Chain A
Amino acid sequence: MKLFVYVLNQQEKIDEVLSGFIEIGLTGATIVDSVGMGRILAKEVPIFAGFQSLLSGSRPYNKTILSVVEDDEKIERALALIEQICGSFSEPGAGIAFTLPLDRVFGLKPEIE
């Protein structure tokens, strides 16, 4: 059993990603609004270049998806799905995904196949 964490930079694709998760049998997840470190530490603010500053921090906010997954194969399918929707992880903008092994989990509802 693993905790699957995905930081989605392209907020507008959250619905598409979650719908895809359901289709591959990953039916439970918690979504958290999150902010990148660069965004917090950026000190200079625009004076006349307001629009340009929106582009330089063009993805100022992101969504962090947390999901407990029992089956490793579903994680592989989730990763493939994310790359299909958001682009390759080797390219900037696709976000970050990682997994963590879990010792004990309480209150987890069974996944719907």
Chain B
Amino acid sequence: MNALVALILIGALGFAMGRFLFLRPRPGTLYERFMLSGAEFLAIGAVIGPSGLQILDRWTLTNLEPFLILALSWIGLLLGIQLRWRHLIRFPWPYFQVSLVQGAVTLGLCFGALALLFFFWTPVVAAAADRWRAALCLGAVAALSSSTEAALHEPRAAKGGHVAGLLRFVPAIDPLVTLLGLGLLFSFWHSGRQAVGVEFSGFQWLLASVGGGLLLGSLFLLLLASVHQSDEAVLAVLGMAIFSGGLASVFHLSPLVVGLIQGILISNWRRQEDLLLNMLLKLERPLYVALLVLAGAAWRFDEPAGYLLAVLFIALRVGAKFLGVRTALAVTRLPFHVPGRWWLGLVPQGAMAIAVAVSYGLIYDDPLGRATFSAILLSTVVLTLLGRPLVHSALSDQEPAP
């Protein structure tokens, strides 16, 4: 299929179906039974992709990579532009502590366990560098939790209060841990030294990621001074996403990380950033549907290694999340009691996991990289489908007020 036709069709699907994705269902309605969870679009992609009916062949998928990079850059910008200092300080510091500590411990435990496992065994033949970065990528994904699942199911499950509020706060912040892990991965296991023609150390690549985001953010701050209307904002946001995605792609960096840094800079230096944020939010759903379809198409579901790795990853992630949350709660002085099963609400992993998988899969197309991509997709589907009982269980355990 022609790449442009494919892009138009997938875009149309995104705009048509995006509005029905993740709507909080009214009890007793048909939608409650057949709620769109995102897995449907992964399945559509898998069916029409190269491993399925080949309506989207590998050549078309390769030609659509610039669109994927643009989408990832858009997501990075959206994450960054929300993080305004004057909004962040409205939330108590212990909330941040719980979010960051549980994310970091989960990442560390999962990365450590998988690195050790991959040292002795991998589901496919893999070089040493491939093993390290697969372990780190999965560790970074393990740190995530899902804003969507918490927001979708929490109002009906919760009796209300701080515990439910914390459950919504943590998934909004823990992507920072994941993107830090991803930034380290793309820097210290950089894939494009030959392609780029620059021989940098890992630390220098990390500086390049941060510097690239800051440089582009600064340039766009100058440009944005003349942006006051929504049509100008569309062009400005599109330009920002294309430039940061292009820079990341040329230097084999993660568009998510470069976009995040650019977004943080812009949102904290510009006073009228709401216009840009609204533009980014308008395309959030269509873009995610398109990302799911393309991720599904790129998924080689006929390779069994991904299934095996997914089972291992889910088991490790659940264990690491439990320990991560326990550690975070032990070192944080929260002014309220958090029930024992609260950590279950952080087990679902959502849209960011798919974005990380795509970002990783675009660069690291080795056998273990493909198994890692597959494992992230599968684990996201499984844990999303379990989201409702997990969130209900996490919040139904609240102790009665004294």
Q: Are B284 and A48 in contact (CB under 8 A)?
A: yes
Given contacts A43-B23, A45-B152, contact A50 B168 (CB under 8 A): yes
Q: Are B151 and A48 in contact (CB under 8 A)?
A: no
Q: Are A49 and B78 in contact (CB under 8 A)?
A: yes
Given contacts A44-B23, A48-B78, A55-B87, contact A34 B160 (CB under 8 A): yes
CB contacts (< 8 Å) of B24 on chain A: these are: 42-45
Instruction: Confirm or deny: B316 has a beta carbon within 8 angstroms of a beta carbon on chain A.
Output: no
Q: Are B172 and A50 in contact (CB under 8 A)?
A: yes
Q: Which residue on chain B has the smallest CB distance to residue A35? A: B160
CB contacts (< 8 Å) of B164 on chain A: these are: 61
Please encode chain B, from 88 to 109, with 1 for each CB lying within 8 Å of some chain A CB and 0 for all others.
0011000000000000000000
Which residues of A46-61 have CB atoms within 8 Å of chain B's CB atoms?
46-55, 58, 60-61
Which residues of A29-79 have CB atoms within 8 Å of chain B's CB atoms?
33-35, 39-40, 42-55, 58, 60-61
User: Size range of the interface on A?
Assistant: 20 to 34
CB contacts (< 8 Å) of B87 on chain A: these are: 51, 55
Q: Are B79 and A33 in contact (CB under 8 A)?
A: no
Instruction: Confirm or deny: B217 has a beta carbon within 8 angstroms of a beta carbon on chain A.
Output: no
CB contacts (< 8 Å) of B175 on chain A: these are: 50
Please, how many angstroms separate the alpha-carbon atoms of A70 and B381 in the complex?
59
Given contacts A35-B160, A53-B147, A55-B87, contact A48 B352 (CB under 8 A): yes
Instruction: Confirm or deny: B350 has a beta carbon within 8 angstroms of a beta carbon on chain A.
Output: yes
Q: Which residue on chain A has the smallest CB distance to residue B83? A: A51
> A49 contacts which of B168, B284, B350, B401 (Cβ < 8 Å)?
B284
Instruction: Confirm or deny: B337 has a beta carbon within 8 angstroms of a beta carbon on chain A.
Output: no
Please, how many angstroms separate the alpha-carbon atoms of A45 and B151 in the complex?
6
Given contacts A51-B82, A51-B83, A61-B165, contact A46 B147 (CB under 8 A): yes
Given contacts A43-B24, A47-B350, contact A54 B161 (CB under 8 A): no
Q: Which residue on chain A has the smallest CB distance to residue B152? A: A45
CB contacts (< 8 Å) of B79 on chain A: these are: 48
CB contacts (< 8 Å) of A51 on chain B: these are: 82-83, 87, 172-173
> B169 contacts which of A39, A48, A54, A61 (Cβ < 8 Å)?
A54
CB contacts (< 8 Å) of A34 on chain B: these are: 160
B5 to chain A, nearest CB (A): 26
Please, how many angstroms separate the alpha-carbon atoms of A52 and B168 in the complex?
11
> B148 contacts which of A40, A43, A47 (Cβ < 8 Å)?
A47
Please, how many angstroms separate the alpha-carbon atoms of A43 and B22 in the complex?
8
Pull 28 A–B residue pairs with CB atoms less than 8 Å apart, ordered by A.
A33-B159, A35-B160, A42-B24, A45-B23, A45-B148, A45-B152, A46-B147, A46-B172, A47-B21, A47-B147, A47-B148, A47-B285, A47-B350, A48-B147, A48-B288, A48-B352, A48-B355, A49-B280, A49-B281, A50-B151, A50-B171, A50-B172, A51-B87, A53-B168, A54-B169, A60-B165, A60-B168, A61-B160
